[in-house]
Chains A and B, each alone.
Chain A
Amino acid sequence: MKKLFLLFIVFIVSFAFFSVLDLPVYAAKEPPAEGGPLPVIKLPIPKNPEEKNYLGLKGEGSFTIPQIKAKVVIIEIFSMYCPYCQNEAPRVNELYNAIENSPDLKGKIKIIGIGAGNTPMEVDIFRKKFQIAFPLFPDVDYSIHKVCGEVRTPYFIGVKINEDGSDEVIYSRLGALQEINQFLELIRNRSGLKKEGS
Chain B
Amino acid sequence: MAKKSIPILASLFLFLFISVAYGVSEIYKDYIYQPGALKPIDSKTKLKIGDRAPDFTLPSISGEKVSLSQYRWKKNVVISFVPAAWTPVCSDQWPGYNLVKDIFDEHDAILLGITVDNIPTLYAWTRPMGNIWFPVLSDFWPHGKVAQEYGVLRSNGVSERALFVIDKKGIIRYIDVHDINKRPPLEDIVRELGRLKK
Contact = CB atoms under 8 A, between A and B. Distances in A.
Interface of A: 2-3, 6-7, 10-11, 14, 18, 25, 27, 79-87, 116-117, 119, 121-122, 125-126, 129, 141-142, 145-146, 150, 152-155, 174-175
Contacts of A11: 12
A174 B21 CA distance: 18
Contacts, number: 97
Interface stretch (B24-32, B35-43, B109-117, B163-171): B24-32
Interface in B31-55: none
12 contacts: A3-B4, A7-B12, A14-B16, A79-B25, A81-B23, A84-B27, A86-B95, A86-B130, A121-B190, A142-B23, A152-B23, A152-B24
Interface of B: 1, 4-5, 8-9, 12, 16-17, 19, 21-27, 92-93, 95-96, 98-100, 128-130, 183, 185-187, 190
A14 B15 CA distance: 11
A152 B187 contact: no
Contact of A85 (B5, B16, B21, B25): B25
Given A14-B12, A83-B25, A152-B24, 4 more contacts: A10-B9, A14-B17, A27-B21, A122-B96
Contact of B99 (A25, A119, A125, A142): A125
